[in-house]
Chains A and B, each alone.
Chain A
Amino acid sequence: MTVFDPPSPSAESAAGLRHVFYPYAGTDQYLQGVVAYTEQALAEGATVLVCAPEERSQVLRATLPADGTVTFLDSAALGRNPGLLIGAWQEWIGQRAREGRAVCGLSESQWAGRSAEQLSEMRYREWLLNLAFAQAPAWSLLCPFDTADQLTVDVLAMARCHPLQWDGAGFVKASDYVEGPYEFEPLTEAGNPAEELDYSIAELAPLRHLVSARALALAIPADKVRDFTVAVSEVATNSIRHGGGRGVMRMWVGGGSLVCELSDAGYISDPLAGKIRPNGEQHGGRGLWFAHQLCDLVQIRSTRQDGTRIRLYLDLPERP
């Protein structure tokens, strides 16, 4: 039988995340694989953390040990924003690491009912987990993925994000994993801009006012508008400070969201910029983190040649 300790994706280090893809079809295969993973983790003395949609959690609660060795996390903390994934796991495993406990996680996302933009960003966040936890203490994260009704290309896209695969009983190296650079899907076509503004430092306040007024006119709740306005302000501030001093804001409504796109001449070289929860000692590095946390979705495309485009999404209220 395969020993539980999964192989490290990096030959140089035994630390970091063992990020494991588990494609399955049907509830029986799902439970079989998840139970085997959990049993092996518990046998090794690890604590098991589960973050799954509520209906999945209900099934697992009825199946996995109820002796306190398995903890069900609040998946609502992730909301619908893929940008919250890394920070949430950072916090969850950080708590256990401080207690000196080995951690085996199980992370299953709700893929159905997502927009193309959300799915694209969710896959990217899965891939980024490998970078985000490369220097962390050793822990593993199993990502079950229901292949039923999925296109082969979508299964492959997920497989590319995981260095390891769970075959239901043990770990194998994932042959489809792409270490990098990550290949982004192109951004969807921008909507017809309802508003467009060239901004520099002098336009920072008018820019906030424009965004806030537009969002309020769409009957978006005031607290969400305030959050979104901070996010836009942070990204525009980055343009002013690091992106050549100016940028262009375009704003439109599409796909059930207010979308605000900010473009500038800067280049974000670190793919983890704004993705990692800051600590209390660091100078700077919080603006983009705030933006990721305050919006419903953030997409970033940045190259040396074309500069940076950041799209911030704010969901419109559902119609009664």
Chain B
Amino acid sequence: MVEAARLAEGFSALRSGKHACWFPESRDDYAAGARTFAAQARSAGDRVLIVGERPSGSREWPGAALVIDPAEVDAAFRDGLAPWELFPRLAPGADPDHGNPVRVLAQMTSLVPADCGFDELVALELGWGQWAAGSGASVVCAFQQDGWHESVLRDVACMHSGQVGDRRLTANFRMTCLEPGWWKVDGVVDFVAASAFGAAVRGALARSGVVRLRFDGLELIDAAGIQELVFSVRETHGAYVRVEAANPTVRRLWQLSGFDTVQQAVEFA
């Protein structure tokens, strides 16, 4: 009951343009949470889009939610289309540009192909984040805990601006899209989170070759994190990253790292 209440509170606090992750323990937990999600949106007068499977035995969703079959998303994914690019065709009523606010629940367990690599998953999540920030929709990405390795869930949590429900798996840092090509990095990028941070930087650069990273909410970055930043940029041809609002310690580490003298593709403003 406590978990359900915490989840409902998290859904309720989710603001327009935000992108949160949710780690339900089981399929049943997902179904119960999804109903809460839809019911809350209905009560607020928002439109609801569920991208995922209908729970078995359930024909109707409360809140008149529109449901997009994951099979269609999967087919589109293989054609290089992102889920949100299907919305105008498959769910025109959920177009964020018209009408009441839109809330999207994406059941990632059914959306992501089994052979999806972590960098692809990161790219998809950053895409959700950018779409949410740009459209004003709020997006919750659900990852069933029994379908993913714990370390993947921890890392994928970093690609979301927030988290709802069970907090046993929390992100070390968070990437939040401010606008296309401009991301805010909050939290801690230590060696535990460094590889996820590298994936996030590569994902952001894949969307836009020039990226601004706001570091004012970054509490700590260590040597492994700085190295990931630099090497991820080097791996991406023509990439350029401008770091903004870093605290004095982070700026000093950058000067001490030796990267400042040779790395023209990363600049600290």
CB distance from B130 to the nearest CB of A (A): 29
User: Is A201 positioned at the interface, with any CB of B under 8 Å from its CB?
Assistant: yes
A146 within 8 Å of B by Cβ?
Answer: no
In-complex Cβ contact of B258 among A227, A229, A282 (8 A)? A282
User: A2-38 toward B: CB 8 Å interface, digit per residue (1/0)?
Assistant: 0000000000000000000000000000000000000
Of residues 259 through 292 on chain A, the ones whose CB sits less than 8 Å from some CB of chain B are 277-284, 286-287, 289-290
Q: Does B149 contact A (CB under 8 A)?
A: no
Q: Is B261 an interface residue (CB 8 A)?
A: yes
Interface residue ranges of B173-215 to A (CB < 8 Å): 188, 190-192
Chain B at the A interface: SS class: helix
Q: In the complex the two chains form, is A237's CB within 8 Å of B258's CB?
A: no
A301 within 8 A of B: no
| Distance of A205 Cα from B249 Cα, bound (Å) | 18
Identify B220's interface contact among A208, A223, A284, A289, CB under 8 A: A208
When the two chains form their complex, are residues B227 and A286 in contact, meaning their CB atoms are under 8 A apart?
yes
Interface residues on A, range: 20 to 34
Interface residues as binary, B219-259 with A (CB distance below 8 Å gives 1, 0 otherwise): 01011101100100000000000000001110011001111
Any B CB within 8 A of the CB of A46: no
Task: Identify which of residues 128-158 in chain B touch chain A, using a CB-to-CB cut-off of 8 Å.
Answer: none
Distance between Cα atoms of A227 and B247 in the complex (Å): 11
Q: Which residues of chain A come closer than 8 Å to B252, judged between CB atoms?
A: 227, 293-294
**Chain B interface residue bracket vs A:** 20 to 34
B257's contact among A229, A286, A294, by CB below 8 Å, is which? A286
A204 at the interface (CB under 8 A from B): yes
Q: How far is the CA of A204 from the CA of B190 in the complex (A)?
A: 9
Contacts of B2 in A (CB 8 A): none
Question: Which chain A residues lie closer than 8 Å to B191 at the CB level?
Answer: 237, 240-241
Residue from B190, B227, B249, B257 within 8 A of A226 (CB atoms): B249
Q: Does B263 contact A (CB under 8 A)?
A: yes
Judged by a CB distance under 8 angstroms, whether A120 is at the interface is: no
Are A227 and B261 closer than 8 Å at their CB atoms?
no
User: Which B residues touch A223, using CB under 8 A?
Assistant: 247-249
B220 to A230, Cβ gap below 8 A?
yes
Known: A280-B263, A283-B227, A290-B222. 4 other contacts (CB 8 A): A233-B190, A280-B257, A280-B259, A293-B252
Q: Which 4 A-B pairs have the closest CB atoms?
A: A280-B262, A286-B223, A278-B258, A287-B223
13 contacts between A and B (CB under 8 A): A204-B190, A208-B220, A226-B247, A226-B248, A229-B220, A234-B222, A278-B257, A280-B261, A286-B223, A287-B222, A293-B252, A293-B256, A294-B249
